[in-house]
Amino acid sequence: MRIGIDFDNTIVSYDALFHKVARERNLVPSSAPVNKVAVRDYLRRIGQEEHWTEMQGYVYGSRMDEALAYEGVADFIRHAMAAGHQIFIVSHKTRYPFLGPQYDLHMAARAWIKHHMLWQGQMLLPMENIFFELTKQEKLARIGACGCDAFIDDLPEILLAEGFPANTVRLLFDPEDRYVNATVDGLLAFRNWQQLAGHFNVR
């Protein structure tokens, strides 16, 4: 089976890092939840949208290596490949931030994979199986070009997009139960990578 996986907020969790950076800059109170969406919503609520936009470029660029992988994702990839499945990372993000220093966000993401997605000192999957596209449309096209039998993403808008490959099973990664009603749209939802490992029987 060919399994595609999104990158941001699916493989990588930014909750702790966004909270840390926001506290370093005194942008949120100490009582703010350790949660990326909570930080974003707080800054928007107090009219600091530009701080949020600039901070995204800083986190995804200069501080990217401090981001954490979701628990179990590396084991999932390792066991899936050992079971004979092919794994692809397919994501979309701008190449450079909208505000602030012009970090190469694609390069930072690839460097994170090289550093964090390892087993016994070797990368879990080859770089030729890793794609960062500039737009959602290009991402959807790449999922199709990779021939993914299943694709895992944290955004229903991607999985339910008109251009999503018709023969690809849509799997929603939803660790905070943000989309509890997504199953009505035909999506299978999973709260963690252990559940996904059970779904694919790759424990």
- Can you give the pLDDT of all 203 residues of the chain as single tens digits? 999 999 999 999 999 999 999 999 999 999 999 999 999 999 999 999 999 999 999 999 999 999 999 999 999 999 999 999 999 999 999 999 788 789 999 999 999 999 999 888 888 999 999 999 999 999 999 999 999 999 999 999 999 999 999 999 999 999 988 887 656 577 889 999 999 999 999 98
Compute the distance between CA of residue 36 and CA of residue 187 in angstroms, rounded to an integer.
24
Q: What is the pLDDT of residue 183?
A: 60
Q: How far apart are CA 176 and CA 118, in angstroms?
A: 26
pLDDT at residue 77, as a whole number: 97
Positions of CATH 3.40.50.1000 in the chain: 2-13+69-200
Q: What is the pTM of this model?
A: 0.94
Alpha-carbon separation of residue 165 from 46, 91, 140, 158 (angstroms)? 40, 15, 7, 11
**What are 133's strand-pairing partners?**
92
User: Do the beta carbons of residue 116 and residue 69 sit within 8 Å?
Assistant: yes
pLDDT of 129 reads 97
Q: Are 49 and 93 in contact (CB under 8 A)?
A: no
Residue 84 in tokens: 């004979």
Is residue 39 within 8 A of residue 17, CB to CB? The reply is no
Q: How many CB atoms lie within 10 A of CB 17?
A: 21
CATH architecture, range 2-13+69-200: 3-Layer(aba) Sandwich (3.40)
Can you give the pLDDT at residue 100? 79
Question: Which tokens sit at 168?
Answer: 């690809």
- Residue 91 and residue 139 in contact, taking contact as beta carbons nearer than 8 Å: yes
What gap in Å lies between CA 203 and CA 198, rounded to an integer? 7
| Nearest CA among 82, 62, 69 for reference residue 117 | 69
C-alpha span between 104 and 33 (Å, rounded):
29
Q: Give the per-residue pLDDT at 184.
A: 56
